[in-house]
Amino acid sequence: MSESTTSPAPRKRDGGEKRTSPFTFYRQVIAELRKVVWPTQQQLTTYFIVVLVFVLIMMAIVSLLDLGLGKFFFMVFNGRD
């Protein structure tokens, strides 16, 4: 038995589906944004500091690995003079 590997045909719009007007779309976007729970200034500051510290730690780890592996491979493939 062979299975078909063709992809399904794209869906055509039914007569019942209408495109929303740009004005309706804009109103719906505004309505959804009103539901968003925005962080307070203190939460935003805390999140910023946490992300900054995390990024700095990751930069340090990657830099140390790069330096260490670079020296190791230099030693292995160049030899010591």
Q: What is the pLDDT of residues 41-56, one digit of tens each?
A: 999 999 999 999 999 9
Tokens of 12: 């055509």
Q: Are 51 and 44 a contacting pair, CB within 8 Å? A: no
CB 29 within 8 A of CB 36: no
**pLDDT for 20:** 85
**pLDDT number for residue 28:** 94
Summarised one tens digit per residue, pLDDT across range 22-31 is: 999 999 999 9
Q: What is the pTM of this model?
A: 0.55
Secondary element (H or E) of residue 70:
helix 41-78
- Name the token pair of 29: 């976007």
Tell me, rounded to whole angstroms, the distance of Cα 78 from its chain centroid.
Answer: 40
Residues 52-71 have a mean pLDDT of 97
The structural domains of the chain, with segments of one domain joined by +, span 38-81
What is the helix, strand, coil percentage profile of the chain, to 5?
A: 65, 0, 35
Predicted confidence band at 36 (pLDDT cuts at 50, 70, 90)?
A: very high
pLDDT of residue 4: 59
Q: Name the more confident of 76 and 45.
A: 45
